[in-house]
Amino acid sequence: MKRRRSEWVEIFEALGEAFFAVLRSEGAVLWRDLWEASLRRALVALGIFLLTGWLLFLLVALLTTASVLGVAAIWDLPVWQATLYVAGAVLSLALILGAVGYFAFLKRFENPLATLHARLDDHLEWWRERLLENERLIGDGENESQTSESDGAASEPAPAG
């Protein structure tokens, strides 16, 4: 009786260790998937947008003073008209950088919740397949004994009547 109980204890300890090993490996794969699919791209996109904002600030500060005075002097324009030309050029550059950041990185951004959902679905599907496979293996042994009994009944000739 004690031997049987110790076997059960060993089985449950092994099951617990296997469960935690699966949790650790699933956590590692999930983190890798989230980092590769979402977080790294989000950080790159954020960096590009921060760089874009910083460049816009520098461009506005430098180009406003230098370009307005230069355009006004070269084309003999009033200062307000030269300011509009320079503002249009700065705005065009900002739109180009914003479009590059959006189309190059944010279009490929994967929602972290979608990644988590997909990983959990894969995990549950794997467990279902494994459990159903084990049930079929166990069930096949029971079905064989039932089919042999039913085969014996079916092979007897029917009474003439």
* DSSP symbols for 125-160: HHHHHHHHHHHHHHHHHHHHHHHHHHHHHHHSPPPP
Paired tokens of 19? 């469960």
Specify the pLDDT at position 141.
Answer: 55
* pLDDT of amino acid 26: 86
Q: How far is C-alpha 126 from the chain's CA centre? A: 18
Provide Rg for the chain, Cα atoms.
Answer: 35
- Full DSSP string of 58-106: HHHHHHHHHHHHHHHHHTT--HHHHHHHHHHHHHHHHHHHHHHHHHHTG
pLDDT at 83: 83
What are the domain boundaries of the chain?
2-135
What pLDDT, on the 0 to 100 scale, is given for residue 51? 94
* Residues of the chain under the 70 pLDDT cut: 1-3, 63, 134-161
pTM value surpassing 0.85: no
Whether 33 and 119 have beta carbons less than 8 Å apart is answered as yes
Query: How high is the pLDDT of residue 138?
Result: 63
